[in-house]
Each structure stands twice: as C-alpha cells, then as structure tokens.
Amino acid sequence: MRTFYKMIKYQLFIIAILFGACQTPTRESIRELEGEAQGSTYHIKYIAHTDENFKPAIDSILQVIDISMSTYRPDSAISKINEGNETVVVDTHFRKVFEASRQIWQQSGGLFDPTVGVLVNAWGFGKQKIDEASLPTEEQIATLKNYVGFEKVTLTDDNHIEKAYPQILFDFNAIAQGYTSDVVAAFLDSRGIENYLVEIAGEMYLKGRNTIENKPWTIGVENPIKPLDDRELVATIQFTNQGLATSGNYRKVWTDANGRKYVHSINPLTGKATQSDVLSATVVHPSTMFADGYATMFMVMGLERSKAFLKQHSDLAVLLVYTDEKNQEQIFKTKPFEKLMVHR
C-alpha cells in the first residue's frame, strides 16, 4: 500500500558519490541503504567505522511517520482526523509538520495550505482518480473552498485537532517527505555518523562530505522537461549540513479532450488545478521540511510572486525553471543558490 503519494518533483541524482569499497587507514568505508518509503523509495549513503546495520531502525522510523501522517493508510492519525474522529491524539511528528505548515501558510498568504485535501480529491490527485466527466464545476469549487483554509483548524495544547467544518481534509504530502529526511538525518546524528546523504522520494539532507575521496557531496539538478532517457542538468551544486527539495508538475499532470492541463499543485485560493509559469522549483535550506514546503509554494505562486517573496527572504537558495511569454524555458536563480553552484 502506498503511503505518502506526492508527485515526484523533478529528478535529482547524485553525481560524485563514491560507490567503491576502498578504505582509508582508519578503515572508514561507505555504507549504502535503500528501500521503499512513502509511496516511493529511499537511498542513504554514510561513512562509518563499523558494520552496524541501521536499516531496521530507519524502517521503523518510516513506519512511525506513516502511522502519523499517511493519507493512504486508513489507520493513520491523519486519516482518522479526516474521517471526523475528534479523539485522536497526534504525535510529535504531526505537531512539528503542522506548525511548520502554519508558518509557510502565513508567509505565502495562503498559497501553501495543507487543508487543501478536498480540492486534491476533487481534481483527481487523491486516492481516487476521476475522469473528465467528473471534473468539478465552478459552483462545486466555490463550495469546496469553504472547507479550505489553515485558519479553520487548530492544534490544541493537548494534541487534538479542532476543525471549523468536519469536511476539512488534511494533506501533508507537500511537506512530509522533507520532514522525514530530517528525522532520518537526526537519527544518523544520534548514532555518531558525521558524513552522510539521506534521500527520501527525491528530498535530501546532506551532512559533512565524502571523506573517503576528500570531496564534497555533489548534486545534479535535472532539466524538468527533458525525458528520463535524455537527461540534462540545469545546475550542479555542492553544499553540506542542509536539505534540498524540488517540486514540479511536469510528470503529475493530465490533459482533457480540449487540451487543458490539470496539475497537482492546486491553488488553495482559487481552487483551480491550473499550471503556473513555474515548471519546477528547487530549494536548499537548513531544514529539508521547509525546503519541501517552499518548493511547493513557489509552484503555486508563479514567477512574479516568487520573485517578490524572495526579495523579502533574500537568504533563500532557490532555482526556478519557468516558461516566458514566448513559451521558452528560462532559469531564475537567487544569489545564495548561485554560490552553491560548481560551474556558475
């Protein structure tokens, strides 16, 4: 059963990660773990002195987060809350994601909003797919918008959720995978691992460096409109002790008989699933959770609003791929992002 289903944002891959088994005089070596997580996969590389297997512990962490926030598990806390169960006591994971979501919601003027669940379902991007005949009408959208808005939900001091309307549905898929990367990174920290790369469904947290080859971790960001068999990089970056997330609509989209495209990045204010001029957004941030949320936010904001936001938040490292008035692909980078690039 899939857990968090979030559309894969555009592909990221590791360029200069060591794959060999060579060892230094201190007998350090690269360890690799992989598995399924949150409707996708995870890959972890870390440098260690021992053969201790962290996979059971990491799989357990992923399971706990699933039980808290997976809309694809009927036994999860979020599913029970969405069904109207007012007795659910949420855990620390839920609270942290809720509070971060509220902060981004406030900063975005409501364009990032995890209470968008009713609209996600209405446009066919939830658990149940729809056909063209079932697309919501303007009247239906207006009604559904009554059940969207983070100001309509409260997390109480005793960890219960209060909703202004029982129809309100939570969907943390735009931020939870980034949060999960942070949690796994914190686990590795607790085990004394100082150099690692955690990637969960494309969201990454990097710490330290590749001490085996004495190189920084290096990440390639791909062109979102290129097919998988014809990959092209739009940037190569190096960073450490930070998270990275990318969001895009190019592979999670469907087109009706009239050629209209509907995308998963739904505007909570208009209720529409229409594509903005931003094709993809990549964010590097000390928190992968915030990188994840901001990347989704920029997709909905569009280019001009994103630029205005970034003027007010000039410390953010962001790359946006967008289409101009001639429908040509263009790239916008903030100065903090440019500083991370290997080839500027």
Q: What is the CATH number of the domain that holds 311?
A: 3.10.520.10
Confidence of residue 145 (pLDDT cuts 50, 70, 90): very high
For residue 276, tell me if it sits in a domain. Answer: yes
Buried/exposed 17-36: b ≥16 CB within 10 Å, e otherwise: bbeeeeeeeeeebbbebeee
What's the number of domains the chain is made of? 1
What is the full DSSP assignment across 282-342?
EEEES-HHHHHHHHHHHHHH-HHHHHHHHHH-TT-EEEEEEE-TTS-EEEEE-HHHHTTBS
Segment 168-187, tens digit of pLDDT: 999 999 999 999 999 999 99
| Short-list 298, 323, 151, CA closest to 224 | 323
Residue of higher predicted confidence among 120 and 33? 33
Domain boundaries, position 276: 12-83+174-338
Which one-letter amino acid corresponds to residue 253? V
Which one-letter amino acid corresponds to residue 319? L
Q: Write down the pTM of the prediction.
A: 0.88
Which one-letter amino acid corresponds to residue 17? I
Pairing assessment for the beta strands 233-238 and 218-222 based on DSSP bridges = antiparallel
For residue 49, tell me if it sits in a domain. Answer: yes
For residue 100, tell me if it sits in a domain. Answer: no
For residue 99, tell me if it sits in a domain. Answer: no
The answer to whether 319 and 221 have CB atoms below 8 angstroms apart is yes
Segment 106-131, tens digit of pLDDT: 999 999 999 999 998 887 776 666 66
Which one-letter amino acid corresponds to residue 58? I
